Amino acid sequence: MKQFRFHAAASVVLAAAMALAGCSGGGGTEPAKPGGEPAGNASGGQGGGQQVTLSMHSWRVEDTEGYKQIIKAFEADNPNIKIEFKPFKATEYNTILNTALQSDSGPDILQLRPYAPGVSLAEAGYLEPLDGVAGISSFPKDVLAAATGKDGKVYGVPLSLNSTQFYYNKKIFEENGLKEPKSWDELIATSKALKEKGIVPISFGAKEGWLLSLSHGVIAPASYNSDYLDKLQKGETDLKSPEFLGSVQRMQELIPYFPENYVGLELNDMRTLFATGKAAMFINGSFELEGIKKLNPDLQLDFFPMPTDDGKAVITTWVDGSYAVNSKSKHKQEAMKFMEFMATKKFGELFANQFKRISAVPGVTTDDPLVNKMAELSQSSSTPYLMVVHFAEGKPTTKQTLENALQGMYLGKMSPEQVVDEVQKSAATWYPPFKK
C-alpha cells in the first residue's frame, strides 16, 4: 500500500483531536474568473499603528468558539489588528466564497480547500503567494503540496493533518464480546452480531454527498492490492478496475448495517446516533473527535484502521485546509502577520488543544491518546484519500461524480458497475494518466 507520507516531526508528535474535506465537508466548485485590476504585492495594505479589522472566512461553523481563543492570542500581540471570524455551512462555503471573490468583496483571510479546489483559486489570481512568510519553509513539502500552485508557489499555510477511520463504542463492543475487526469478513461478522442484538452497527447517512466519498475513502483501500495506486497514477489501470469496483460493491454490502432511514440522515444525525450510544460504529474523520466528545464526554471511544485484504491495516490521510490571503485585500501586510502567526508553534499548540486535532505545524505535541494514535498511524500505515488528493478536478469534479453516483446507488437507481462507469468517464476527461 502506497503511503501518503507525513514528515515525522509534523505528524508523529503532532496532535490534537481531529469536518465537510472535509473535515472537510463538501467538494470544490470551479471558481469564477477574476476581474478588475491585477493583484498587488504583499506589502500593499495599511500598517503602522492604525487600527485594522481583517475579515476571516471558514467552513468550520463548529470551530467558532475555539477560534475566538486563538484570535484573542494573536490580537494580544498585535493590538492594532482585529480579526472578525465568519464561518459558513461547509456545503455552501465554496459557492459563497467564489461569488465574493468574483465581485472583489472576498475576505482578507480565507480558509482554502486542499489540493485542486484551493489551487484553482490561486490559478484564477485570487490568492497572494506566501513563500516569503516566516516559518513557511519549516513545513514538509508533502504537506505544503496541498496548497502549492502549478507555478510552484505556496498559497496557503497548512492547518491540519486529517485522517478518516471507523470510530467505535468500546463499551458496546465489550458488552457484546466483540473485538476490533482485523479483516473485511470480521467487520461484516461484527456488524451482523450487533444487528442481531438490536444495535445499529454503523451510524451512516447518505444525504450529504461529501460524507459518501469520505466513507469510501475509508472502505476502498481494503480492496486495493499493494501496487494499485502506483498503477493508477501511471495510467496502467483505471477506475473500472476490479479493485475500484470492489470498493463500491463493499459500500453496497454494508447497507443492511446502516440505520433504517439512512438515506435521509446528515452529519448531525449520524454524530448524535453514535455519541448517544445508539450506534456502535461511525465512519468519519479525525475532525469529528471534538464534536463527539462534546456531545458525550463520557463516551468510551476508540477507532480502528481499515483492515485490508492482504492482512494489513491502513488509515486514510490528507492535508485538510490551509489559510490564504486574498490578493485583493486592502490590508495584506496585516493579513500576512496572521499567516506568520499560523506558522508558529504557538499557533499549532493552540489549534491542537482547542480542537483536538493534529496540527500541521512541525513539532507540536498533545496529550490526547486518540490523537497520538491517529498521528502515529498516519506516519506508519497511511494511504491517501484518493478522491481529495488525486481526483478533485473536472467539471463537475470526479470526487463529486462519485458522491452523486453513490447517492444514486443508495437510492436504488444505480448499480456498482454503473457507479464506476460514471466515475471513470469523469476522470477520463481530465486526469493526465488516463489521457496518455
Enumerate the β-bridge partners of residue 219. Answer: none
Q: What is the pLDDT of residue 49?
A: 65
* Residue with the larger pLDDT of the pair 13 and 326: 326
**DSSP code of residue 223:** G
Mean pLDDT of the chain: 88
3-state DSSP assignment of residue 301 = strand
- In the structure, what pLDDT confidence band is assigned to residue 401 with cuts at 50, 70 and 90? very high
Q: By the 8 A CB rule, do 163 and 317 touch?
A: yes
- In the structure, what pLDDT confidence band is assigned to residue 91 with cuts at 50, 70 and 90? confident
On the 0-12 / 13-18 / 19+ scale of CB atoms within 10 A, 381 is middle
Q: What is the pLDDT of residue 35?
A: 33
Closest Cα partner for 23 from 203, 213, 185? 213
Q: By the 8 A CB rule, do 429 and 394 touch?
A: yes
Range of lowest pLDDT (39-48, 65-74, 269-278): 39-48
Q: What is the pLDDT of residues 12-53, one digit of tens each?
A: 333 333 333 334 444 433 333 333 333 333 333 344 568 999
Q: Which helix (H) or strand (E) holds 101?
A: helix 90-102
Averaged pLDDT, 186-203? 98
Q: By the 8 A CB rule, do 163 and 379 touch?
A: no
Q: How far is CA 126 from CA 34, 38, 77, 314, 337, in A?
A: 7, 9, 28, 37, 19
Cα distance between residue 95 and residue 188, in whole Å: 39
Averaged pLDDT, 134-162? 94
Closest Cα partner for 391 from 112, 27, 121? 27
Residue 417 CB: number of other CB atoms within 10 A?
12
pLDDT higher than threshold 90 for residue 206: yes
Range of lowest pLDDT (48-57, 112-121, 239-248, 392-401): 48-57
Q: What is the pLDDT of residue 240?
A: 97
Averaged pLDDT, 109-124? 94
Three cell numbers written together for 179: 473485538
Q: By the 8 A CB rule, do 276 and 244 touch?
A: no
On the 0-12 / 13-18 / 19+ scale of CB atoms within 10 A, 293 is middle
Q: What is the pLDDT of residue 37?
A: 32
pLDDT higher than threshold 60 for residue 176: yes
3-state DSSP assignment of residue 111 = strand
- Domains in the chain with CATH codes: 43-162+319-365 (3.40.190.10)
Instruction: Provide the greatest CA pair distance for the chain.
Output: 68
Q: What is the pLDDT of residue 372?
A: 85
Q: What is the pLDDT of residue 436?
A: 72
